[in-house]
């Protein structure tokens, strides 16, 4: 056995070792200010990480509902882009950072909520009410 495994008591390991959790940012409904290039870049990074759709308004006035899944950042906004899927088309699309005027986090954040503790609470309530075959179901495909 390695020294590392043996050197800790259970109490020490308990105290030392639990991976830190991620603090979810509540971004649903957020409309970031895009006064500067840095604000636009930061907002698009958050959009990339967001598990819901956003609505992009382009400088041309076009509005795009998009799930952003990729980006390439260059030295200028013109050579930076995001890649996205829209609900209405099958193909991957790209738009330059330079064309984006506004971002709205309009879609439901699919990674928010659904905590384990909520499942336990719901389970106990439904069981106490006499239900059987209790289960969490995936979100409907609408």
Binding site for another protein (CB under 8 A): 1-2, 4-6, 8, 10, 13, 16-22, 24, 48, 51-53, 67, 69-72, 83, 85-87, 90, 92, 107-108, 110-111, 113-117, 119-120, 123-124, 127-128, 132-142
For residue 54, what are the β-bridge partners?
66
Helix (H, G, I), strand (E, B) or coil at 85: strand
Identify which of residues 61 and 116 has a Cβ nearer to another protein in the complex.
Answer: 116
Identify which of residues 10 and 35 has a Cβ nearer to another protein in the complex.
Answer: 10
Least separation in angstroms between residue 35's CB and another protein is 26
Strand order in the sheet with 54-58: 93-96, 81-85, 63-72, 54-58, 100-104
Identify which of residues 59 and 134 has a Cβ nearer to another protein in the complex.
Answer: 134
Encoded tokens for 32: 């970031």
Identify which of residues 100 and 107 has a Cβ nearer to another protein in the complex.
Answer: 107
Cα 66 to Cα 61: distance, rounded to the nearest angstrom: 15
Least separation in angstroms between residue 79's CB and another protein is 15
Spatial CB neighbours of 64, under 8 Å, sequence gap ≥ 6: 55, 56, 57, 58, 84, 86, 95
């Amino acid at each position: 056995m390695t020294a590392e495994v043996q050197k800790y008591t259970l109490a020490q390991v308990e105290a030392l070792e639990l991976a830190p959790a991620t603090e979810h940012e509540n971004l649903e409904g957020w409309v970031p200010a895009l006064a500067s290039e840095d604000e636009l870049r930061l907002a698009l990074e958050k959009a990339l990480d967001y598990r819901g759709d956003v609505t992009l308004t382009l400088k041309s006035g076009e509005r795009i509902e998009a799930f952003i899944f990729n980006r390439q950042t260059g030295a200028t906004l013109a050579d930076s882009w995001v890649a996205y899927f829209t609900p209405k088309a099958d193909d991957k699309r790209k738009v330059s950072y330079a064309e984006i005027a506004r971002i709205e986090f309009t879609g439901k954040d699919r990674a928010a909520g659904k905590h384990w503790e909520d499942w336990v609470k719901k389970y106990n309530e439904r069981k106490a009410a006499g239900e059987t075959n209790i289960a969490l179901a995936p979100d409907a495909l609408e």
